[in-house]
A and B are shown apart, each in its own frame.
Chain A
Amino acid sequence: MSQLFFGYFAGMIAITSMMVVALRNPVYSALSLLVMFFHVAGLFITLHAEFLAAVQIIVYAGAILVLYLFVVMILNVKQDDRYHSQWRIAGFVCVPLLIESIVLLSGAGATDSGSRSLQSGPHDAIVADNTLAIGKILYSTYLFPFEVASLVLLVAMIGAIVLAKRDIGENDASHMSQTAVDE
């Protein structure tokens, strides 16, 4: 049963993520990305990580992708063919990847099932409350990387605001002089 679900989710993730880059209409691309996020959340649920699944949907599907869609609609990119029909680059990237995956599949097929059944053992033991488990690990073992990551995000946010609103200082100055004149 779980194999079946994994197969479905993995297959849909592969198909929809290819559709994200293959579809011509950027809105459709964003929508297939949405379907992909849902299936990734489904994969998390089959691993008993419900918290991650919910956060996956809230953050990626609920916030980030809506912003993408926002931008795509405002730009209204229609039939922009500049980045399509790049067969040479596609072939250059895909042929090595294909060969690599064939080699991996043929070589590792025999030992794969054994190692997977070994790995699934400890997974079932920590089903109890994965939200609590994540919180405890995040605020004890990984406290420093967690804080550094939040700091990096804060810096990125400030950077984005500074880049997007270059005229903050000038505007304030002109506004100030304006009010001074008014008074």
Chain B
Amino acid sequence: MTEFGLRLAISLTQIAAVMGIVVVTVLILTLAERKVLGWMQDRMGPMEVGPYGILQPFADAIKLFFKEDIIPAGANKFLFTVAPILCLIPAFIGFAVIPWGPNQTFEINGITVRPFVISDINIGILYILAFASLGAYGIILGGWASNSKYSLLGGLRSAAQIISYELNVGLSIVGVLILAGSLSLVKITDAQAGGFWNWYLFALPAPQIFAFVVYVISSVAETNRVPFDLPEAESELVAGFFTEYSGLRFAFFFLAEYANMVLVSCVAAALFLGGCNAPYPGTIMALIGLPSLAWVENTMWFAVKTYSFLFLFFWLRATLPRLRYDQLMRFGWKVMLPIALGNIVVTALAVFFYQQMK
């Protein structure tokens, strides 16, 4: 039973570490978004709290914690309370299968520990898709339970949007799965080692450039970010599905949105951009004789890829106006879906003939 206890302790430590990293990342993102938007619009961004405004996220968090928590009179209290939690859990649970660093193991008392992934399950990417699809429930139920027209419309829009674009996310990933021959994120990342020409974005039998574009656009839509932020279009719907939310419950929705952004960025980095593998073969640390520190370099590469993806989200927000609802649906079903399907056919044929030639 002590073995079980040790396993539990190790797992809990890993979970706590990952949660901590994600929450810190979200804090950084809230500030980074406002700063980047500010610079892109020739402003300074927040400057008041702390030197150069770097303590702004803490001020925001404290403000949200101490705000009065209002439940509207006509609201369904149970669902109104459950909805933010339903939104937050799927956003965080997906991080369990993301490999943050190299696939190495060490042993404590005969128990094999993988320090850089909480759990390497053999359906990793499907697990993430499954829980990502549940995020829609928090949004729809939050919109419905608020008993407000704006919230309901926002929730319904979001349901339609998330279902449409989730399909494209799932289909754009299939090409990578065909190339890797596995659903485990650890195996997919390992298969891309040895230079950027092995990343699935550029890998030879079938470069997944189109799939990557479809994935990026669809993941922006799935996280309800500009230019696809129709569920919370403020000029039409006040604030969409969370119009009636305040205080901590609003903070939950906010946290869920940013955690989702981090999650889709991590998945993009792991599937298309080689995960924690450097763009050159091997690692510099191994070259200068410190192979035991190679994991630092690898995790840094993962962070760089994830953060450049997150920067793309801010960039899009600063440059693009919001789409109209019918444009969004037509674009999703008539442009993205055929490209994703075509990519699957081309990739499958390329891989088949590549194997025949070998």
A58 touching B123 by the CB < 8 A rule?
no
Which residues of chain A have C-beta atoms less than 8 A from B122's C-beta? Answer: 50, 129, 131
A70 touching B166 by the CB < 8 A rule?
no
Interchain CB contact (< 8 A) of A62 among B130, B144, B183: B130
B136 within 8 A of A: yes
Given A73-B156, A74-B156, check contact A66 B136 (CB 8 Å): yes
Encoded as 1 (CB less than 8 Å from any A CB) or 0, chain B from 118 to 145 comes to 0001110011011101101100110010
A57 within 8 A of B: yes
Given A27-B79, A73-B144, A73-B152, check contact A61 B123 (CB 8 Å): no
Given the complex of chains A and B, what is the CA–CA distance between A76 and B156 in angstroms?
A: 13
Given A67-B163, A70-B160, check contact A51 B140 (CB 8 Å): no
A66 touching B159 by the CB < 8 A rule?
yes
Give the size of the chain B interface in residues (CB under 8 angstroms): 27
A118 within 8 A of B: no
Interface residues of B, dominant DSSP: helix
Docked complex: A27-60 residues within 8 A CB-CB of B: 27, 31, 34, 50-51, 53-55, 57-58
- CB of A7 to closest CB in B, whole Å: 21
A62 touching B79 by the CB < 8 A rule?
no
Determine the residue in chain A with the shortest Cβ distance to B145. Answer: A27
Which residues of chain B have C-beta atoms less than 8 A from A69's C-beta? Answer: 137, 140-141, 159
Give the size of the chain A interface in residues (CB under 8 angstroms): 21
- CB of A131 to closest CB in B, whole Å: 6
A63 within 8 A of B: yes
Given the complex of chains A and B, what is the CA–CA distance between A61 and B135 in angstroms?
A: 11
Interface residues of A, dominant DSSP: helix
Interchain CB contact (< 8 A) of B126 among A55, A73, A129: A55
Which residues of chain B have C-beta atoms less than 8 A from A70's C-beta? Answer: 140, 156, 159-160
B137 touching A51 by the CB < 8 A rule?
no
Which residues of chain A have C-beta atoms less than 8 A from B131's C-beta? Answer: 57
Which residues of chain A have C-beta atoms less than 8 A from B137's C-beta? Answer: 34, 66, 69
Which residues of chain B have C-beta atoms less than 8 A from A74's C-beta? Answer: 156
B163 touching A58 by the CB < 8 A rule?
no
Interchain CB contact (< 8 A) of A58 among B121, B126, B152, B162: B126
B134 touching A131 by the CB < 8 A rule?
no
Which residues of chain A have C-beta atoms less than 8 A from B76's C-beta? Answer: 27
Which residues of chain A have C-beta atoms less than 8 A from B127's C-beta? Answer: 54
Determine the residue in chain A with the shortest Cβ distance to B129. Answer: A58
Given the complex of chains A and B, what is the CA–CA distance between A55 and B130 in angstroms?
A: 7
Encoded as 1 (CB less than 8 Å from any B CB) or 0, chain A from 56 to 95 comes to 0110011100110110011000000000000000000000
Supply 12 further A-B pairs (C-beta < 8 A) apart from A27-B141, A58-B129, A70-B156.
A27-B79, A31-B141, A34-B137, A54-B130, A55-B126, A57-B131, A58-B126, A62-B136, A66-B133, A69-B137, A69-B159, A70-B160
- 14 interchain pairs, CB-CB under 8 A: A27-B141, A27-B144, A50-B122, A50-B123, A51-B183, A54-B123, A54-B126, A55-B126, A62-B133, A62-B136, A63-B163, A67-B163, A70-B140, A74-B156
Listed from nearest, the 7 A-B pairs whose CB atoms lie closest are: A62-B133, A54-B126, A57-B130, A50-B123, A58-B130, A54-B130, A54-B123
